[in-house]
Amino acid sequence: MVLDRKKVLLGISGSISAYKGCEVVRELQRKGAEVRVTLTPSAEQFIGRLTFKALTEYDVLTGWMDGETGLEHITWARWSDAFVIAPASANTIAKIRYGIADNFLTSVALAYDKPLVIAPAMNTKMYENPATVENIKILKERGHIFVEPEEGILACGEEGKGRLAEPESIVTAVMHSVFPKPLKNKKVVVTAGGTREFLDPIRYISNASSGQLGYELAKFSYVLGGDVTLISAPTCLKTPYGVKRINVTSAEDMLRETLKEFENADILIMNAAVADFSPKEYSSKKLKKKEEEPIIHLKRNKDILLEVGKRKKSNQIIVGFAAESENLIQNAEDKLRRKNLDVIVGNYLDVFSKGKHRGIILFNNGEILEIPEMTKEESAFYILKNLFLKNHEG
Ligand code: CTP
């Protein structure tokens, strides 16, 4: 799993959203992490220690001298590969800025020498108060990672920015803090989803792509430090945390946006299932059924990979995909050469219905790597790890 053997400390401070800490713990554990929790005394007013002890099987520490030896704020800081504070109240953020260590959470924060992941949650006025704004600015300058709160209706009934980010976003930021950043300062463009080729305002030709693998590839490109743009055909998926998304519908839109974004990109990961054909004619009015069976005339769409392959500069990397029912290696190799790619990922279609992924990675030097059957999330991480993390500690 992605966070196997990683140790994550979750600090929870006083906010009504303290209960969301349970989801953060679960999400981290689902990804293979070992998790410990510290609650501030105010957080304990909102949620009990026992909840987290039951979830993590570790004692939950609160007061700064809690624990058997009184040195736990040091040993827990050493133990952690990542330290995430979610929710982080205005008060806790202020204390961390000034190095105040008056409870277990803030004491570990002071003893922790790596970037913290901080997910604020508070009333909008508190979030926008110049004191909080300055505290956050300074902590960012010290290299700490902030997971922006979301806008919405807050517990106090007011509407605005201050709601704790989604657990999924918080966990993505934790992964970002844990792994090396081989894609730092690199613009990564990822395409995903199946394009729609409309016949009339409500009918279209498309394919069964869910876009999930592409979204996971975008997420992990951010985790590994990339500046990521996701060009997405329609899907029901949420934009991954840290990723900029451009929405497109048809193969023609996808071609236009990909060519534009590719110009100053370092890496293109072309995962979208682009329609090879689209209807020759589009009716702006809904087509009415007639007695005779309709015939749809199709025209060939441009192959986007072929077009970007022609424009590729020596410092640009293109990763293509090939979904095949048979002769996977041979077909993938042919597409790699024909489209001037650096790498192609070949997908076996047999596990798609299970929502899983299995395939091969074929490099342009002839090297082939097997992708064993795994979830699309794990597979996306496996692909990027093998492309960009080989020379880094993982
Ligand atoms: N692709 C593209 N533009 C298209 C069609 C496909 O850029 N109009 C890209 C896909 O994003 C994928 C790769 O080409 O990265 C392979 O797509 P696939 O449909 O498997 O291959 P085709 O080249 O269309 O070949 P075939 O249909 O013969 O398998």
- Rounded to the nearest angstrom, the distance between the alpha carbon of 182 and the centre of ligand 1 is 28
**Active site amino acids:** 156
Regions in the chain scoring below 50 on pLDDT: 394
We find that the CATH architecture of domain 7-178 is 3-Layer(aba) Sandwich (3.40)
Report the pLDDT value the prediction gives residue 354, as an integer from 0 to 100: 82
Beta-strand runs (E) in the chain? 7-12, 34-39, 82-88, 117-120, 145-146, 150-153, 159-163, 187-192, 197-198, 204-205, 227-232, 244-247, 267-270, 277-279, 298-300, 317-324, 343-348, 356-363, 368-375
Report the pLDDT value the prediction gives residue 394, as an integer from 0 to 100: 44
| For ligand 1, mutation pick of 196, 252, 256, 270 (most atoms within 8 Å of CB) | 270
Closest Cα to atom 9 of ligand 1 = 305
- Rounded to the nearest angstrom, the distance between the alpha carbon of 353 and the centre of ligand 1 is 20
Task: Please give the model's pTM, rounded to 2 decimal places.
Answer: 0.94
What are the sequence ranges of the domains in the chain? 7-178, 187-388
Contact 251, 195 (CB under 8 A): yes
Which residues' Cβ are closer than 6 Å to ligand 1?
A: 251, 270, 272, 274, 276, 301, 303-305, 320-323, 335
Q: How far apart are CA 215 and CA 221, in angstroms?
A: 10
Closest Cα to atom 13 of ligand 1 = 321
Report the pLDDT value the prediction gives residue 308, as an integer from 0 to 100: 97
Q: How far apart are CA 19 and CA 11, in angstroms?
A: 12
- Rounded to the nearest angstrom, the distance between the alpha carbon of 322 and the centre of ligand 1 is 7
Domain 7-178 shares a fold with domain 187-388:
yes
Beta pairing class for 204-205 and 117-120? unpaired
What is 187-388's CATH number?
3.40.50.10300
